[in-house]
Structure 1
Amino acid sequence: YKDLHFGTGGLRGIIGAGTNRMNRYTVAKATKGLANYIKKQGEKDPSVVIAYDSRRFSKEFAQEAAGVLLKNDIKVYLFEDVRPTPELSFAVRETKSIAGIVITASHNPPEYNGYKVYWKDGGQVVDPVASELMKEINSISDFSNIECLHGCSLDGFDKLKILGEEMDKKYIEKVKSLSLNPQAIEKQKDLSVVYTPLHGTGNKLVSRVLREIGFENVHVVKEQEKPDGSFPTVKYPNPEEDGSFELALKLAKEVDGDIILATDPDCDRVGVMIKTSAGEYYKLTGNQTGALLAHYIISSLQKKGMLKENSFLVDTIVTGKMGQKIAEKYGVETVSTLTGFKYIAQQIKNLEDEGDKKFVFGYEESYGFLTGSFVRDKDGVIASMLLCEMAAFYKEQGMTLYDALMKLYEEYGYHKEELFSIVMEGKEGALAIRSTMERMRNNPPETIAGLNVAEIRDYLVYEGPIKLPKENMLYFILEEGSWFAIRPSGTEPKLKVYIGTVSDSASEAQKKIERLSSHIKSMLSYNE
C-alpha cells in the first residue's frame, strides 16, 4: 500500500514490478543513494563489498548494485557466487572497504528479497550513518539519473574485483581460531552431526569448517543441500519453525545424530536440535542455545586463563536473562541493547574498538550468535562450529547438551520465555499497531495475571545505563522478576510480544509463563 522505502533494516519486500516491490529499479535507487553518500565522505579510492544469497534474482540484484557503484567510480569487491552474510561482514573489514551490500531477505518466504547495507566496521548501518543514508536514498525521485537502470555489462571495469576461495580461506582460518577445546573434537571426531542449509548459502562453509576442524561424521540433508530460492521442501526457510527440521530429523534418526543444525538462507542464524539421554530429539530455543554457548565460551576461557577482567557479553533487552546470570557468576559484564544484531555490533564497536573492554559473546533470542572480533553480525558458521565442539566436549564427559542445559537450570533457575506475534497487514493493520502501542503507553496495566507491575520502560524516552537510540518498545517488569515487552516488527506487519520468567522448578516456570501469556493475549485481544 506504500512505496518500498529504504529503512533502518534496508529494503525488504516482495519481488515484482512497481515502486513497492523489490526489483532492479528499487535496488538501483538504493545503490545510487549509497554512492552519493559515499562520495560525500571524501574518502580516497573507496570500495564496497557485495554478497548475495540463494533467493530469486539475488545475483541479478547484486550485479545491478555493482554496476551502479562502478559507474560512480567506486571500487567493487563482488563475491563470485552465493555466500553467507557473516562472510560479507568479515570481507568489509578485511578489504578495509567503506561499506558492504548483501542481497538477502533472510528467512522470509520465497517471494521476498531484500537489500542490507553494512558500514566500514563490518556492522549493519546504525545512526547517524543510517539516517543520513536513508535521507540520501529516499530523496532520489528522478530515476533517469541512475546509471545501469536497464542493466549493464560488468566487463572491462578495472575497479571490479571478484572474491572467492582466497577470501573463504581467510575467513575459515579465523573461524577455526575460535575453537576452545580441540582435544574434545579429537576424542569425539565421530560425533554424529546432521546439518541442513535449508537451500541457502551455508553448506559450502559450514560443512568445510566442521570437516577441517576434525569432525568426520557430518551428514548433510541431501534434499536441502543445494542453493534454491524457491525453498521447495519447506514452508518457510526459517530455523525457528519446527517444519524446517522435518527432513533433518528424519535423517538424524537414520544415522543416530547427536546434534542437528539448521541455518537460514543467508547463514547468519542457526537453529539446533539435541538428543536427550532417552534418545528423543529436543529443539532448543534461541535463549537456551545462547545460554549454553555463553556458559561454554566463558567457562572455557576462564579455565584457560584467557578470560580478561574487562570482558563483556552483549544481549538484547528481550533476550532471556539466564545468560546474564551466567556472565555475572564469572565476573563478566552484560550490556543489553535494542533488538537487532546491528545494535549488538554497535556496542562491540563502542566498548572494544573505541574503549578498553574485551568482547566475549553476543546473542539474541532469534537464533543469532557471535564470538570473536573479526565479524560484526550474527554468524551461523561460527555458531555451528562451536555448537558441535560443545556437544563433543560434553559427550567426552558422558553428557548430552540436554544434560548440560538441565545442569544450568539447576544452578541458575528455570528460565522460561515465550514469543508470539500479532499479524496486522495493510493500511488498517499499520493503524491498529499504532493504536495498540498508544493504548499500552497511555493506559498501561497495573497488574498482569495477579502480579503487580513494578516498572515500565518506554524506550522512546527511557534513559538507561548506556545510551540507546529511541525505539518504539514498551518493557514491563513485574514485582517477582517476570517481564514482558511489546514492539512493532521492523521488517514485517506485526506486533511482537516477548515474555520471560524464572522459577525454582520447570513445572512452576511453565505454569507462570502460561498464566502470563494468557493474560497478555487477552489484554491485547489476540486470537490464534
Structure 2
Amino acid sequence: MSDLLKQAREWLAQDPDPDTRTELSDLIERADLDTLRERFGAKLEFGTAGLRGELGAGPNRMNRVTVMRAAAGLAEVLGPGKHVVIGYDARYKSDVFARDTAAVLTGAGIHASLLPQALPTPVLAFAVRHLGADAGVTVTASHNPPRDNGYKVYWGDGSQIVPPVDGQISAAIDGVGRVDDLPLGAPASPTTAGSFTELGEDILDDYIEAVIALPLGRARTLKVAYTPLHGVGAGTLTGAFLAAGFASPMAVEEQRNPDPAFPTVAFPNPEEPGAMDLALALGTKIGADVVLANDPDADRCAVGVPLRDGTWRMLTGDEVGALLGEYVIANTSGDRLVATTIVSSSLLGRIAAAHGVRYTETLTGFKWIMRAGAGLVFGYEEALGYSVGSDAGLPVHDKDGIGAALTIAAIAAEAKQAGRTLLDLLDDQARKYGVHATSQLSVRVQDLSLIAGAMARLRAEPAKELGGRAVERFDDLAQGDGGLPPTDGLRYQLAGGARVVVRPSGTEPKLKCYLEVVVPVTGEVAEARALAAEGLAALTSDLKVTLGL
C-alpha cells in the first residue's frame, strides 16, 4: 500500500495538468487502492501503434505526463537538429498534448512545427514528406470511444513507424525522468529563443492540391450525403470536393462539427451498428447517389449506396478496395504495385493479375502496406483504410479518408453518367473474377488472458474442417510466412478458395476473425452472392464454437 501511494504522490508532484491532479489527489485522499493499482500497476506500452488508452492520471492512462515522456523518448531517438511535424484531432486534450509535444521536442533542440488547427490525420502524414521533416506525431485515438486518446508517430517517409524504431523509442521513454525537469520550448515569437513553429493554413491548401491531382475523371454530377461523425473531416473534405469541381456534399447537421463527446453515436466508428443511421437518413431525404463517412480523424472512409427499394447498403471495406484498386490500375501506367493485407480479400490479387500489375500482401496495418515495395500506386485494408495514388505516386503514405472519398465520388459520378451505380460495377467485377464475399467475427473481452488462451488452444489443436470445408493448409503466422515478419495470427486455407484468419486486435480488447468465401459466377450474380452468404454463415457458426469464447 505504501509503495502504491508513494508512486501516486510522485506522479502527482510532476503532473502539470490541473484536471488529472485533482483526480489523482482525490484517489490518494480516499486511498482508493483498487483504482490506484489499476492506474499504477501497469503502463501504456509504446508500440507500432504508438500509444492509445483512456484519459486519466497515472502511467496506465493517456495524460500530459505520459505524452511528455513519449515526446522526450522520441527526442532522444531523433537527436538535436531534426524536424518534427505535429498534428492533432478534436478529442479531449488533443490540442494540449500536441503543444506539450512541441514544447518538449523544442526544449530538446528539435525543430517542431505544429499544424494550424485540428485536422485529419492524412494531412499530418502528407505534411511530414511535403516539409521534408524527419518525423511526425499526431495526437488521435481514431475511432475509439470518447474517453480515449492516442499518440501516433511517423518517420521521415511519411508512414507509421515499424520495428526497430518503435522499440528504440519505447526504451528511450523508460529512461525519461520527471517531466517537470524537462527543458521546454515555447511558441515562436520575435523574442523567444528555442521556440516551435505554428504552421499556416497553406499546408492544408497544399494537401488539397495534392489529392485533387489524383485520377478523378471528368464526370462531376453527383449528390452526396456525408458525415464526419463529430470528427475533423468536414472542412477538409468539403474543400477538396469544391476544389475538384464537385458540388459540396450535404453534411449531417448533428454530426458536422467536431465534438469529443460524440453525442449521437455509441461508438464513433462507421463500421459500428447505428453509427451511419443519421447519414443514411439524410441520404434518403435528399435523394443522394452515395453516402460517404469519415471516422473522427478522417483517415478512414465508409460508403453507402441506395437500393431500388429505397433502403441503403453499406459497402464493405473489401468492396470499396476492389473498386478503388481497379480504378487506379485503369488510370495509371507503367510498372505498378498494388497491395493489401493478409486479412483483406484476395480479390485485389485477381484484379492485378488480370491487368498485368504486381500485387503483394502485407501484415495488417498501413505501416506495412506503405512498405510493400517500389511503384506502389494503391494500398488498402479491409477496415475502411485506403491510400490512392497516380502515376506520380501516393500523395499520402498512410490511409487517407479524404482522398478515398474523393476518388469514390469520381467513380460514382462516372457510373451515374453512364446510367449505372457502384453496385453495377461490383456486379461487373463479380462476373469477371467471381464473388469474393468477406465478413468478420469479432469477440470483445474484458480479460485479455482469454484471447491468449484461445490462440493457444487453436495452435495446439488446429481445426481440420470449418464451415463444412476441409482445411487444406494451416499457417501459424507467429513463425513468419512468405517473407512476412512474424505476427500473432493463424491462417486457414480452405477448400474452394475460402480462407479464415484469426488474430488479436492491435488496438482493442478483441479477438478478430476474417472470413472469405469465393464463388464463381456461372449464372446470375445474385445466386452466387447467396451461395457465398451461406458459406460465410456456416464458417461463422463453426468459428463461434471453435474459439470457445
Q: Residues 154 and 161 from structure 1, CA distance in 2 versus in 1: closer, same or farther, beyond 3 angstroms?
A: closer
1:103-145 CA-to-partner distances (Å, cap 9, x unmatched) read 0000001000000000000001011222222222234355454
Q: CA deviation at 1:209?
A: 0.8
Contact 1:52/1:104 (<8 A) preserved: yes
> Do structure 1's residue 319 and structure 2's residue 344 form an aligned pair?
yes
Distance 1:139 1:434 in 2: 30
TM-score by length of 1: 0.91
* Superposition pairs of residues 449-488 of structure 1, within 5 angstroms: 449-464=467-482, 467-488=483-504
Structure 2 letter corresponding to 1:184: A
Letter in 2 for 1:343: W
Q: Which residue of 1 aligns with 2:422?
A: 401
Displacement after TM superposition at 1:477 (Å)? 0.5
1:430 matched to which residue of 2? 448
| Among 211, 215, 230, the residue aligned to 2:242 | 211
- After TM superposition, where is structure 1 displaced by more than 6 Å over at least 4 residues in a row? 151-154
- The percentage of counterpart residues that share the same residue type is 40
Q: Contact conserved, 1:126 with 1:346, CA < 8 A, in 2?
A: no
2:59 to 19, 23, 37: 19
Distance 1:334 1:133 in 2: 32
Q: What residue number does 1:261 align with?
A: 292
- Mapped contact 2:55–2:61 kept (Cα < 8 A): yes
Task: Pick the aligned partner of 1:98 from 134, 152, 168.
Answer: 134
Aligned AA (1:419): Q
Letter in 2 for 1:47: H
Contact in 2 for aligned 1:93/1:374 (Cα 8 Å) = no
Q: Does 1:412 align with 2:429?
A: no
Q: Which of 65, 69, 72 is matched with 1:32 structurally?
A: 72
1:218 shift after superposition: 2.0
Residue matched to 2:464 = 446
Distance 2:484 2:351 in 1: 24
Q: Is the 1:276–1:403 contact (alpha carbons within 8 Å) kept by the matching residues of 2?
A: no
Task: Tell whether the 8 Å contact from 1:273 to 1:283 is kept in structure 2 after alignment.
Answer: yes
Counting only pairs closer than 5 Å after superposition, residues 46-195 of structure 1 correspond to structure 2 as 46-140=82-176, 142-143=178-179, 145-148=181-184, 156-157=192-193, 159-181=195-217, 183-185=218-220, 188=221, 191-195=222-226
Match of 2:333 in 1: 307
AA matched with 1:360: V
1:355 paired residue number: none
2 CA distance for matches of 1:293 and 1:90?
Answer: 20
Residue 50 of structure 2, aligned match among 3, 10, 26: 10
Tell me which structure has the larger Cα radius of gyration.
Answer: 2
Cα pair distance change 1:157/1:50, threshold 3 Å: farther
Q: CA deviation at 1:170?
A: 1.0
Other structure's SS at 1:55 match: coil
1:497, distance to aligned residue in structure 2 (A): 1.0
Whole-Å Cα distance in 1 between the matches of residues 466 and 101 of structure 2?
Answer: 50
Shift of 1:460: 1.5
Contact 2:476-2:491 at 8 Å conserved across structures: yes
- Does the 8 Å contact 2:186/2:196 carry over to 1? no
Q: How does 1:236-385 map to 2 (within 5 A)?
A: 236-299=267-330, 301=331, 306-308=332-334, 310-347=335-372, 351-352=373-374, 358-372=375-389, 373-385=394-406
Deviation at 1:469, TM superposition (A): 2.1
Q: Which position in structure 1 is the counterpart of 2:543?
A: 520
1:87 shift after superposition:
0.8
* d(CA) in 2 for partners of 1:436, 1:245: 32
Kept in 1, the 8 Å contact 2:219–2:413? The answer is yes
The answer to whether the 8 Å contact 1:89/1:118 transfers is yes
Q: Secondary structure at the match of 1:122?
A: coil
Structure 1 residues 247, 164: CA separation in 2 closer, same or farther (over 3 Å shift)?
A: farther
CA distance in 2, matches of 1:135, 1:24: 19
Residue segments in structure 1 that go unaligned for 5+ positions in a row: 353-357
Higher relative contact order (CA 8 A, sep 6+): 1
- Give the whole-Å Cα distance in 1 for the aligned partners of 2:43 and 2:177: 12
Secondary structure at 2:276's aligned position in 1? Answer: helix
Q: 1:217 to 1:74 in 2, by over 3 A?
A: closer
> Structure 1 counterpart of 2:333, which letter?
L
The CA RMSD over aligned residues, in Å, is 1.7
3-state SS in 2 of match to 1:475: strand
The aligned amino acid for 1:359 is: L
Would the aligned equivalents of 2:107 and 2:194 in 1 still touch at CA under 8 Å? no
For the 8 Å contact 1:239–1:264, the answer to whether it is kept is yes
What is the Cα deviation at residue 311 of structure 1?
1.0
Conserved 8 A contact 2:493-2:499: yes
- What letter corresponds to residue 508 of structure 1 in structure 2? L
Query: Residue 408 of structure 2: which of 368, 387, 393 is its match?
Result: 387
Residue type of the partner of 1:447?
E
Return the alpha-carbon distance in structure 1 between the equivalents of residues 248 and 163 of structure 2: 45
- State the SS of the aligned residue for 1:184: coil
Q: Which moved more, 1:277-286 or 1:16-25?
A: 277-286
> Match for 1:506: what amino acid?
R
Q: TM-score, normalised by structure 2?
A: 0.87
For 1:305-343, what per-residue CA distance to the aligned partner results, in whole angstroms no more than 9, with x for missing partners? x421x2111100000111211111101121100111111
Q: Aligned residue for 2:7? A: none
Say which SS state the counterpart of residue 535 (structure 2) adopts.
Answer: helix
1:49 partner letter = V
- Which is worse superposed, 74-83 or 454-463? 454-463
1:197 to 2:222 alignment: no
